[in-house]
């Protein structure tokens, strides 16, 4: 119970984001914000290696960024079930009377992916 012994009130920030991490020659070179698998369906430019990993087949632009043939993309993000599970795990560890619940990276594209009822449910669990 390390959180209960912490002398200051702790707030809870839940992630609402997705991005694509671009790797070139084994090194992270950039993050492309709000990148999902639907943007990588062109099989002349991208090859899927599972649900979250893609390879660039030919040099191309993607959301204003130039990608080189051989670059690798790893999609990262939080789905609704993981969001609720995180809240359920953290809820009993933090004092609800003194904490603030916030959602990291809340913008119009996030609101389209996470429904208002889901966000309300998170707030009610808090």
- Residue range 67-111, pLDDT digits in tens: 999 999 999 998 889 888 988 888 777 777 767 888 877 566 777
- Residue 102 CA to residue 91 CA, distance in Å, equals 13
* Residue 85 Cα distances to 80, 104, 116, 122, angstroms: 9, 16, 17, 10
- Residue 79 CA to residue 14 CA, distance in Å, equals 11
Q: 6-25 pLDDT, tens per residue?
A: 777 778 888 888 899 999 99
The answer to whether residues 24 and 74 touch, using CB atoms and an 8 Å cutoff, is no
Domain layout of the chain by residue ranges: 19-77, 78-125
Mean per-residue pLDDT, 32-61: 96
Quote the pTM value.
0.74
Q: 50-62 pLDDT, tens per residue?
A: 999 999 999 999 9
């Amino acid at each position: 119970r390390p959180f209960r012994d912490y002398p200051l009130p702790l707030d809870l920030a839940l992630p609402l984001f997705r991005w694509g991490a671009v790797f070139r020659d084994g090194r992270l070179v950039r993050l492309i914000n709000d990148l999902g698998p639907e943007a990588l369906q062109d099989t002349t430019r991208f090859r899927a290696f599972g649900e979250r990993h893609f390879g660039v087949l030919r040099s191309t632009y993607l959301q204003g960024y130039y990608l080189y043939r051989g670059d690798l993309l790893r999609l990262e993000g939080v789905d609704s079930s993981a969001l609720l599970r995180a809240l359920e795990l953290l809820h009993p560890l933090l004092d609800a009377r003194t904490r603030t619940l916030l959602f990291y990276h809340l913008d119009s594209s996030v609101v389209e992916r996470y429904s208002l009822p889901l966000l309300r449910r998170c707030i009610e669990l808090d």
